Amino acid sequence: MIAGALPDVVAAAGVSPQAKSPAAAEPDAGALQRIFNCLSEGLPASWQHSWVIATETQRNESSRDFEAIFRYSDTEADTTGSRFAPCGSETLPADIIGVNTELARKWREIRLDFYRDGRFDLRYDNPK
């Protein structure tokens, strides 16, 4: 898992940034910010935690297909949340896939969580 804080997300939430956790492979901050910007368009004012889970549905030598589920909750304790529709950005799938170019070809599922205070968690499910 990779965790940290996005400065623009933190600034938008009006809180001080938290120290970024050291990570083996740093995620692309620009891709994370673009993903959050798109997600934030569909979030209600009461959101506290939002996440996207992208699961690979098909792979061949030249392409990969994914299905993404977008959820939010009004509390961090709610792990089920409610579905919502983010912006209709055509770059969103590429941004999700490209969050970490070092791991991009390895994972089968990615979960990206954003918290209102600017924290984020990034988890990959890699094949064994």
Residue 64 has pLDDT above 90, yes or no: no
Give residue 103's pLDDT band: very low, low, confident or very high (50, 70, 90). low
Collapse the DSSP code of 127 into the 3-class scheme (helix H, G, I; strand E, B; otherwise coil) and give the result. Answer: coil
* pLDDT at 21 > cutoff 70: no
- Determine the average pLDDT of the residues in 102-114: 76
In the chain, the percentage of residues whose pLDDT exceeds 90 is 23
Nearest residue to 123 via CA among 77, 49, 30, 55: 55
Lowest mean per-residue pLDDT among 13-17, 50-54, 62-66, 123-127: 13-17
State the amino acid at position 16 in one-letter form: S
The domain limits of the chain are 2-125
Domain 2-125 has CATH 3.30.500: yes
Which H helix or E strand runs over 95?
helix 92-97
Q: Are strands 109-115 and 82-83 parallel, antiparallel or unpaired?
A: unpaired
